[in-house]
Structure 1
Amino acid sequence: MTLIHIVAGEASGDVLGARLIAALRARRPDLDFAGIGGPRMAEQGVPSLFDYRELALMGLMEVLPKIFRLKRLIGDAVDDIATRRPDVLVTIDSPGFTLRVAEKVKPLGIPVVHYVAPQVWAWRPGRVVKLKQKVDRILCLLPFEPIFFEHAGIPVTFVGHPVLESGADRGDAARFRAAHALGEAERPVIVMPGSRRMEASRLLPIFGAALRIAAQRVPGLRPVLPVAPIVAALVRQAASDWPAAPILIDGLEAKHDAFAAVAQSGGAGLIKSGTSSLEMAVAGIPHVVAYRVNAVTAAIVRRLVKVPHASLVNLLAEREVVPERLQENCTPEALAEALVAPLLDPDVAARQRAGFTEALGHLRAPEGLPSEAAAVAVLQAIEEAR
């Protein structure tokens, strides 16, 4: 039986892994799977070698205290792959973990496909040479990535961005309002501080202060927080004294229902930088992007970063569609001002939504859904290896 080993290091990778498994099974029901993931991959019948929540690390200073544990988990993953001898290893995002695993597996002669190109084009272009030594093919999500990796001699496939099949634009606003007794006069705003403990703990106090300021200018403002399991307790504690009893939700369907309710009522979003900005764009929700990291990490990143924008929406549109408030500019006052603007001015909201349409138009692969294109590329890698 053909065995595919999939290694995902965080919640977003778990979702990608689950969709990929489903798309692969649709083409080849005989396939077998193993790997590291979370609840979504488990739903597809692939239990995880260990709890992937241990890998929810970020930033240089945040990783250092756990470096020995991280090395042990890498060793466990490599040992499992070496024992099973899969026909292909698919590593998904989380390059700090997955590419270290890939590097140790590559000498075993197992083909390695990395799903979600590491953003070396953004901040460490020199590292692309090392990447060539770790993987056999990269599945890219963004249209400008293939030329960068092809120039370095790495086979690459543009599969389109999975946000396009996320369902972020297909929620039920009425169901959400009924479930949470949301009044007609209330203005829900989506708040997404991140799915990693370190980033959430850093952003939640700032977000809370920003919402208190915004609530003074926007009557009926009601925060809605989609909560990742790994940060659920942290979010509940931090949001307990926020204005207007924040609504905490769990699960993909509830999150998309919340998006629909926010979009329908002319709401907005306050989110950390990342893929969530694309989710907001798909859902048609004007938003502000925020981020703050350890001062040492920020100083290092500033020396390395090579792109003009943090938001993927802005990168795709090649202009600032979405306001970005990063590091020293990530203050309650600055966030509140950017959040309130589309809530009070329909023209500001309309301009953002027009920019969303422009940006998202670049994310579609030539054929099929992203997960389907990724499945085809993985099967091709197996055939090429044989």
Structure 2
Amino acid sequence: MASSAKLSLVTPPGVSLAMVAGEVSGDMLAARLIAGLRPHLPNARFHGIGGPRMIEQGFVSDVPLETLTVRGLFEIIPRYREIKGIQNRLRDRLLEERPAAFIGADYPGFNLGLEEQLRAQGIPTVHFVGPQIWAWRGGRIKKIQRAVSHMLVIFPFEEQIYRDAGVPVTYIGHPLAETIPLVPDTVAARTALGLAPDARVVTIMPGSRMGELKYLAEPFVRAAGLLAKRDPGLSFVVPMAGDRQRAYFNQIVAQAGLQGVPLTLVDGSSHTAIAAADAVLVASGTATLEVALFKKPMVIAYKVMRASWEIMRHMGYQPWIGLPNILAREFLVPELLQNAATPEAMADAVWAQLNDTARRDKLAGRFTEMHHSLLRNSASVSAEAVLRVIGK
């Protein structure tokens, strides 16, 4: 194990709250919670495992967030011992430290197991956000009942599910609904990216994880190439999560011989790239909700290792995987999964989204309704729930 993954046992006195976020989305959620808690606990120490947004709020990450990032069912196997070792060392440290509470920010495969062990030893646990037991693995509710002192949920329909299971729960709204404007400024976004105000823009979002790029970068770029042939005036914007992702993406594009596809890669700025778009081709995940909150037509695609897919496709409880479709309870936007996610199919679907004006207007209205339903002061509401758990 690299030295960066070692855990110090030196903890200064005062209120301590331990947190773990294992992915970019959890980092964003946890950062807002820390911001909500700071006015009430100005001298508290927040530490554990987190990313740059949490660190901006004064969080101390004992292990880099990237150490935990794994995608798919089988992809975790080679790294199981490493990740389990991190979990065990963190558990031992927290049992010695006795923080006021442990807060798991999403990442349920890691956090629920840790929470169960900590709660059994009398440490209050908060899980933020609720695992998607309404989508798959509903049997996980039994573990949640043992592991979680209080659940924070970000979708309105989840509250009753946990309440019925006897798990204390608070609906806090979705933080993205607060950070994304109700009326996005497309012209300003295009200006920021150096695009003409009247450009036709397709934003390509193959994911921030290396595993996502491995399976989606090439077909997404091939789809862009097909669209460019239909309309050479199209502009393609691809936000990159970091230097590592950019280098890997470029490697995949070069290996596939696709350097001629007219792509503009931008560092970060994913919200600007979405706001600038007429349509978005996006990997399934939190980014699909971001696109919906920006009121943009989209095509959702998803590909993983074949063995993982064969298991996962039999475990779902509903016909949708994209968050906008799940919230709407219908196929508002197309989903192209695994073998169906071909460059040709994606290009056709994006082309339809670009050119169906009536459909675009209808989507904007539905996404606006969705935005209002998710809008709460999430930092304040979640902080109040945590303060109740720790008796402050």
The residue aligned with 2:271 is 256
TM-aligned CA deviation for residue 66 of structure 1: 0.9
Q: Secondary structure at the match of 2:152?
A: strand
The residue aligned with 2:349 is 338
TM-aligned CA deviation for residue 174 of structure 1: 5.1
Q: Secondary structure at the match of 1:357?
A: helix
Aligned in 2, Cα 1:122/1:177: closer, same or farther, shift over 3 Å? closer
1:1-386 matches, within 5 Å, as 1-167=14-180, 173=186, 176-183=189-196, 186-229=199-242, 231-239=245-253, 241=258, 244-251=261-268, 254-262=269-277, 267-364=278-375, 368-383=376-391
Unmatched tracts of structure 2, length 5 or more: 1-13
Deviations 1:246-276 (CA, angstroms, capped at 9, x unpaired): 222223xx333323322xxxx1100011111
TM-aligned CA deviation for residue 340 of structure 1: 0.8
Aligned in 2, Cα 1:171/1:320: closer, same or farther, shift over 3 Å? closer
Aligned in 2, Cα 1:244/1:210: closer, same or farther, shift over 3 Å? closer
| Aligned residue identity for 2:160 | I
In 2: Cα distance, 1:204 partner to 1:176 partner: 24
In 2: Cα distance, 1:249 partner to 1:223 partner: 11
- Number of residue pairs aligned between Structure 1 and Structure 2: 375
In 2: Cα distance, 1:184 partner to 1:178 partner: 7
Q: Secondary structure at the match of 1:36?
A: strand
Unmatched tracts of structure 1, length 5 or more: none
Q: Secondary structure at the match of 1:308?
A: coil
| Aligned residue identity for 2:289 | L
TM-aligned CA deviation for residue 235 of structure 1: 2.1
In 2: Cα distance, 1:309 partner to 1:38 partner: 29
The residue aligned with 2:8 is none
In 2: Cα distance, 1:5 partner to 1:159 partner: 20
Q: Report the TM-score when normalising by structure 1.
A: 0.91
TM-aligned CA deviation for residue 168 of structure 1: 5.9
TM-aligned CA deviation for residue 63 of structure 1: 0.6
Question: Conserved in 2, the CA contact under 8 Å of 1:215 and 1:243?
Answer: no
Q: Which moved more, 1:111-120 or 1:222-231?
A: 222-231
Deviations 1:92-151 (CA, angstroms, capped at 9, x unpaired): 011122222212222221100000111122111122112211111110111111221222
Runs (4+) of structure 1 moved beyond 4 Å? 168-176
Of all paired residues, the percent bearing the same amino acid is 39
In 1: Cα distance, 2:106 partner to 2:282 partner: 20
Q: Which moved more, 1:307-316 or 1:159-168?
A: 159-168
In 2: Cα distance, 1:224 partner to 1:371 partner: 31
TM-aligned CA deviation for residue 218 of structure 1: 2.7
Deviations 1:284-324 (CA, angstroms, capped at 9, x unpaired): 11111110112221121122110121111112112111111
Q: Which moved more, 1:57-66 or 1:95-104?
A: 95-104
| Aligned residue identity for 1:382 | I
In 1: Cα distance, 2:184 partner to 2:48 partner: 31
Q: Secondary structure at the match of 1:271?
A: strand
In 1: Cα distance, 2:141 partner to 2:261 partner: 48
Q: Which moved more, 1:96-105 or 1:229-238?
A: 229-238
Q: Which moved more, 1:76-85 or 1:56-65?
A: 76-85
TM-aligned CA deviation for residue 20 of structure 1: 1.0
Question: Conserved in 2, the CA contact under 8 Å of 1:111 and 1:136?
Answer: yes
Question: Conserved in 1, the CA contact under 8 Å of 2:32 and 2:175?
Answer: no
Q: Report the TM-score when normalising by structure 2.
A: 0.90
In 2: Cα distance, 1:313 partner to 1:178 partner: 28
Question: Conserved in 1, the CA contact under 8 Å of 2:187 and 2:197?
Answer: no
Q: Secondary structure at the match of 1:248?
A: strand
